[in-house]
Chain A
Amino acid sequence: MEIRRRKDQIEISELDPFLAELLRQIPASANPEGAPAAEQRLFSLPANRKQTEICAEWKTYVEPELRRLFQTATQTVATDLEQLNGNEKSLANRTLRIPAKHADAWLSALNQARLVIAAKNSFTENELNDHFRSPIGSRRDLSLFQVNFYGFLQEFILRELED
């Protein structure tokens, strides 16, 4: 896999089917439904629980806005990922082009996905910092790889935004 900036696009080329599939899973992975821990992480309280008035107002007015914001980002990413639609064979050595103006949406969707996966698996800080863990031997290992792969993409996009 190669990732580079080309004019007003971020280009991820020579994608093998495995990494292409991980990318395609971003929108689904960002969905916290059915996982209370993930839901709580994405929509955390804005104050101590004792501040009942602040928390209640937040639930009513702010949380729906946040849901819309997160959904818009994952929808943008899902649209970009349509470039990877096809059967497994056609996924070999595919190229994904992300418009630079979608960079913020990608950062958000990748972050949502990382947070949801980490919450669902209750990853510890040590596990998350162990970047040399391999090979992938279980569903949990695969999820950890997914978190790290998405983190790598975030780092690249951030570096591009800074330049």
Chain B
Amino acid sequence: MSCGPRRDGGCLAQIKETKGIAHVSNEKTGSITTAEPTIEKETRSEEELDLPWQVVVHNDPVNLMSYVTIVFQRVFGYPRERAERHMLEVHHKGRSILWSGMRERAELYVQQLHGYLLLATLEKAC
């Protein structure tokens, strides 16, 4: 697995090893032998270790509720019910966390939301 790009051009990876034991049965002899353990290597990029960033939308008395709902559906691909739930959370509580994950994607979402003139910010999760 290739690692994600870093801002300084380098690549920081964390390796996690998982050992598993495979059992092989022989029907003719009825014996069961144990194969050599397999080692799976999982690499995680620095950006993934940097998780999570949150996309937060803030209340705005001007934007229409129906408009905000459609924007959430378009930007995040959420079904109408979920989009409405977030819209109502923004309306009643002043803010709603719409998405959390890698920074680059969160930035892209915030940019799209600003394109629709919503008040959206990128926040690092506590």
Contact = CB atoms under 8 A, between A and B. Distances in A.
Q: Which of B117, B119, B121, B123 has the most CB of A within 10 A?
A: B117
Interface size class of B (residues with CB under 8 A): 10 to 19
A46 B120 contact: yes
Contact of B123 (A42, A44, A47): A47
Nearest to A42: B117
A65 B115 CA distance: 9
Interface string B25-62: 00000000000000000000000000000000000011
A46 B117 contact: no
Interface in A46-69: 46-48, 51, 54, 62, 65-66, 69
B111 interface: yes
Contacts of B62: 111, 114-115, 118, 123, 128, 147
Interface in A109-158: 111-112, 114-115, 118, 123-125, 128-129, 147, 151, 154-155, 158
A44 B119 contact: yes
Given A44-B119, A65-B111, A118-B62, 13 more contacts: A46-B111, A46-B121, A48-B121, A54-B122, A69-B115, A108-B116, A111-B67, A114-B62, A115-B63, A128-B62, A154-B64, A154-B67, A158-B70
Interface of A: 42-48, 51, 54, 62, 65-66, 69, 107-108, 111-112, 114-115, 118, 123-125, 128-129, 147, 151, 154-155, 158-159, 161-162
